[in-house]
Structure 1
Amino acid sequence: MHIYDKEFTQTELPMTKQEVRAISIAKLMLKPDSILIDVGAGTGTIGIEAATYMPQGKVYAIEKEEKGLDTIKLNADKFELKNFELIHGKAPNVIPNIAYDRMFIGGSTGSLEDIIKHFLTYAKDGAILVINTITLETQHQSLEILKRLDFKDIEVISVTIGRAKKVGPYTMMFGENPIHIIKVIKSSSNKN
């Protein structure tokens, strides 16, 4: 079920906005029994919403920042998720070494290539990887790594959301930061 931003407990940490979340989750093409690794979970909004689409599946949310852990726990508890596990630590070191079919990367703290290599090692053939980037440098780095590892059909979209706000008697549109969403599918031709 789609969850609106106002339904999440929010703190000072940035949150993936609901429109970007909807597109990112759609790109993951989740199945009811998918196993999703949510790397750089932040406030947990991607993994928590994804868990509602996967009643027989499971989300492993990876977050290294202490300040994000309490917010993620509050939100996971609020939605009474039984298929959501929060793991504190830095990826890829704490990612479970299990077979999975979906990975979302919202933050990588300089370990992007190693995280993608974990995906290549443990994800099933046909698994989907979605990476959200806010900076051009991270987008460029992501594309370079994916090309070097022989990913084919690299899909990249740019999403810009504007929100209407009242300014006196007028309504103006105020833009959010553009987000770049990258999607690839693992195949036997990928290098590791």
Structure 2
Amino acid sequence: MPAEVDLKRYSKRFANLKSKKETPLTARIQIVGIGDDGLDGLTGQARQLIKNATVLVGPSLLLDKIGNTDSKRIVVGSNLQQLQQAIKELGDSSAVVLASGDPLFYGIARYLTETFGKDRFEVIPHVSSMQLAFARVKESWDDAYLTNLATQPLDRVVDNIRTAELVGLFTTESITPAVVAEALLDRRIDYFTGYVCENLGTPDETVTQGDLQSIRTQSFGSMNVMVLVRRHGAADRPSGSAQRRLFGNPDDLFLQSRPKRGLLTPSEVRCIALAELSLTPTSVVWDVGAGSGSLAIEAAAIANKGKVFAIEMDAEDFALMIENAKMFDVPSLVPIHGQAPEAWKELPDANAIFVGGSGRIVPELVSSAIKRLTSGGRIVVNVSSPDNLVAVQQVLGDAAMQPDVRMINIARGQYQLDRVRFASLNPTFLVLGQK
């Protein structure tokens, strides 16, 4: 027989449950993104939410775009404290907060969810004006540098633009496209084609294309997005800083070729390599595979009474090395356009040799270079592949030199989307030896 059920006990428990007061859940607030075309550009879901809302919250510009409704309207501008207070006073009202474009892309949604919690809101995004701008100029924005000039200092933005391929900017009433163009040209950053996209998604939509010289002379409406597209193969311009270090200068002080950017020896690696070369003011130095000359130039600043021979076979990089040397004013630098080892046949023996490269020929170059190293001289080899690391160690061992190895991992902080993240440079190896 089935066990008897104690109806009295369950009835009492049920009565106790009924007697407890349930705390009503606070109604969720809808954050609805709107484009410049107002209600016409919204989905049916977004229009229905706005129609059914008892309270609408947002800037007057967006409230005007949705026309007349029976909803109570709370006008809030860019003052976040005012917006926060308005949200607190909504209670259980069926409310919609209006935002421009995608509320989670440089919009207010992140601020609201971080302040009140994600469970308090639903987000219905519209197409971001940034997305529309890149669609109009037919460029993919996968790897573009995107930022908002309302939240980032112009100097920092300009410095990030200098090394970017694609850029998308939300401008402001004070930092207009003309101001951006002027700031870029002041730093000799003239290798971008500019697009200013105004009133996107409306009948008044306009896209203006031009070089930075022409854009800086024009005025545009406040509702715009600026897109910059780098000219193919244009070399980075130095940042223009007046500060020059003896060594370890920031990478952006050197002209670099595109698309080979990234082959320059990073400043952190340069510092270690130069220290391990044990340079003196009278040292004779070889930089084999000098590229655009960053390490050779800094070696020449240290060995200012000696000679630094910078050997580079690529004509474009050799020309950039000449320009970089002029900027740093290093008379002890001797650029040599040629291919090693033939290029060093007539050179004096070296007290210090730096070899950089990624090709299979690197171990052979190191073997030949060691023969021209003076007694007590030091060699530092920068390689990126484990195969070359092992091969160079073997070469040094065969030359009766005790190889010493450093593996260097560097991650640099970068600011994007108002957050700091760390971008890792490719790991690299320094193989050290003394004759």
Checking the alignment, whether the CA contact within 8 Å between 1:40 and 1:108 is kept in structure 2 is no
Structure 1 unaligned spans of 5+: 187-192
Per the TM alignment, residue 45 of structure 1 is displaced from its structure 2 partner at its CA by: 0.5
For 1:145, the equivalent position in structure 2 comes to 395
Equivalences, count: 185
Deviation at 1:78, TM superposition (A): 1.0
Q: Tell me, what secondary structure is at the counterpart of 2:354? A: strand
1:81 equivalent to 2:330? Answer: yes
Structure 2 equivalent of residue 174 of structure 1: 423
Q: Are 2:410 and 1:130 aligned? A: no
Counterpart of 1:9 in structure 2 is 255
Taking the aligned partners of 2:363 and 2:266, their CA distance within structure 1 comes to 26
Give 3-state SS (helix, strand or coil) of 2:407's partner: strand
2:282 to 26, 33, 54: 33
Matches of 2:419 and 2:407, distance apart in 1: 28
Work out the CA distance in 2 between the residues paired with 1:179 and 1:105: 13
User: Deviation string for 1:100-154 (max 9, x for gaps)?
Assistant: 20000012744334433433332210000000011111111111211222212x1
CA deviation profile, 1:82-107 (whole Å, cap 9, x unmatched): 11111111111111342220000012
Query: Is residue 61–residue 86 contact of structure 1 (8 Å, CA) maintained in 2?
Result: yes
- Select the structure that is richer in strand: 1
Q: Is the aligned partner of 1:21 residue 2:267?
A: no
Higher relative contact order (CA 8 A, sep 6+): 1
CA RMSD of aligned residues (A): 1.6
Q: Which amino acid aligns with 2:253?
A: E
Write the letter of the residue equivalent to 1:124.
Answer: T
> Hey, what does 1:93 align to over in structure 2?
342
Could you say if the C-alpha distance between residues 69 and 103 of structure 1 is closer, same or farther in structure 2, counting changes exceeding 3 Å? Answer: same
User: How far did 1:55 drift?
Assistant: 1.3
Match for 1:51: what amino acid?
A: A
CA distance, structure 1, for counterparts of residue 286 and residue 358 of structure 2: 13
Percent identity between matched residues is 28
TM-score for the superposition, normalised by structure 1 = 0.89
Q: Which residue of 2 aligns with 1:61?
A: 310
- For 2:339 and 2:320, how far apart are their aligned partners in 1? 17
Segment of structure 1 superposing worse, 108-117 or 74-83: 108-117
> Quick one: distance in 2 between partners of 1:28 and 1:114?
20
Unpaired segments ≥5 residues, structure 2 = 1-245
Q: 1:41–1:107: 8 Å Cα contact kept in structure 2?
A: no
Pair member with larger Rg:
2
The 5 A counterparts of 1:101-116 are 101-107=351-357, 109-116=359-366
Structure 1 counterpart SS, 2:316: helix
Matched residue SS, 2:273: helix
